[in-house]
């Protein structure tokens, strides 16, 4: 019933729909809020994430997460670099240490033999896991912070520099020097690591380590 409601109202003005709450007594307040979030998410990302918008049943997180995620164009660019690495190596294993909505993970996984997604926000991780399964993606989802103990297999690692926040639940953004030191440590142990700029600030910097890896080969 919820999915049909979302489809029936996918083009409605969300603000106006919210004011018409009394017209839909068959929906609980939580279900109605969920439907509004899904309709709003699809509308906001139709141009940014066109592939997802075409999939019925795709779930969308709150607005802030959508603002922070990569665009499909950016994610496909990153995926092209993973593809280039996969042409040089027999079995690429991809680890996305800050998976978020899973946009980068989704597209980069196409060229990886094995993909691991890490996200400490359990609600966001559950949404990504649902979407990956819906699309038939064999991505290992871990609803937990990424840590060195997660590196039981070597591979490509994608990290994010984080978004400045005062939300203590998730902590502050990582200091740039700490991120660089962590990247260098991983690289010294045979893990090709990228540092993604938040909100797509600098796509080249986000994938710089992959480019460097290719140049050395």
Q: Clarify whether residues 153 and 185 are in a common domain.
A: yes
Q: Quick one: 8 and 113 in the same domain?
A: no
Q: Please tell me whether residues 141 and 195 are part of one structural domain.
A: yes
> Count of domains in the chain?
2
Distance (Å, whole) CA 205 – CA 210? 10
Expressed as residue numbers, the domain containing 43 is 2-68
Residue 202: CB atoms within 10 A of its CB come to 13
Residues 52-71: b if buried by 16+ CB within 10 A, e if exposed: bbeeeebbbbeeebbebbbb
pLDDT of residue 149: 67
pLDDT at residue number 210:
53
Please give the structure tokens belonging to residue 91. 């079995």
pLDDT for 174 equals 56
User: What sign does the CA torsion over 58, 198, 175, 173 have?
Assistant: negative
Mark whether 116 and 209 lie in a shared domain. yes
pLDDT at 169: 40
Q: Which residue has the tokens 């966001």?
A: 124
The last residue of one of the domains, among 40, 68, 96, is 68
Domain boundary among 11, 37, 68: 68
CATH assignment of the domain containing 120: 3.40.50.150
Based on the domain organization, do 186 and 171 belong to the same domain?
Answer: yes
Q: Do 108 and 43 share a domain, yes or no?
A: no
Q: What is the pLDDT along the chain (217 residues), one digit of tens a residue?
A: 898 999 999 999 999 999 999 999 999 999 999 999 999 999 999 999 999 999 989 999 999 999 989 999 999 999 998 888 887 776 788 888 889 999 999 999 999 989 999 999 999 999 999 999 999 999 999 999 887 666 554 555 565 544 433 343 434 445 677 777 777 776 776 666 666 655 444 444 445 545 555 555 5
Among 47, 68, 89, which residue terminates a domain? 68
Task: Output the pLDDT for position 93.
Answer: 84
Please tell me whether residues 104 and 33 are part of one structural domain. Answer: no
Whole-model pTM? 0.73
**CATH number, residue 20:** 1.10.10
Do 16 and 63 sit in the same domain of this protein?
yes
Q: Are residues 35 and 105 in the same domain?
A: no
The helix (run of H) or strand (run of E) holding residue 194 is strand 192-196
Quote the CA–CA distance of 156 and 176 in Å, as a whole number. Answer: 20
CA distances from 81 to 75, 160, 164, 186, 208 (A): 10, 17, 27, 19, 10
| DSSP secondary structure code for residue 21 in this structure | G
């Amino acid at each position: 019933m919820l999915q049909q409601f979302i489809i029936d109202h996918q083009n409605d003005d969300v603000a106006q729909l919210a004011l018409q709450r009394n017209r839909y007594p068959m929906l609980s307040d939580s279900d109605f809020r969920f439907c509004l979030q899904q309709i709003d998410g699809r509308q906001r990302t139709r141009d940014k994430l066109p592939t997802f918008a075409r999939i019925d049943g795709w779930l969308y997180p709150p607005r802030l997460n959508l603002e922070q995620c990569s665009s499909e164009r950016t994610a496909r660019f990153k995926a092209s670099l993973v593809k280039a690495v996969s042409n040089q190596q027999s079995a690429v294993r991809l680890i996305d240490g800050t998976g978020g909505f899973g946009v980068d993970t989704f597209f980069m996984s196409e060229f990886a033999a094995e993909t691991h997604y890490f996200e400490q926000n359990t609600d966001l991780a559950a949404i990504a896991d649902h979407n990956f399964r819906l699309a038939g993606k064999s991505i290992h989802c871990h609803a937990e912070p990424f840590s060195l103990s997660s590196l039981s297999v070597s591979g490509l690692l994608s990290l994010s520099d984080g978004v400045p926040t005062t939300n203590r639940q998730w902590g502050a953004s990582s200091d740039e020097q700490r991120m660089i030191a962590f990247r260098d440590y991983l690289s010294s142990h045979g893990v090709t690591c990228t540092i993604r700029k938040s909100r797509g600030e600098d796509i080249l910097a986000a994938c710089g380590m992959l480019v460097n890896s290719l140049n050395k080969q």
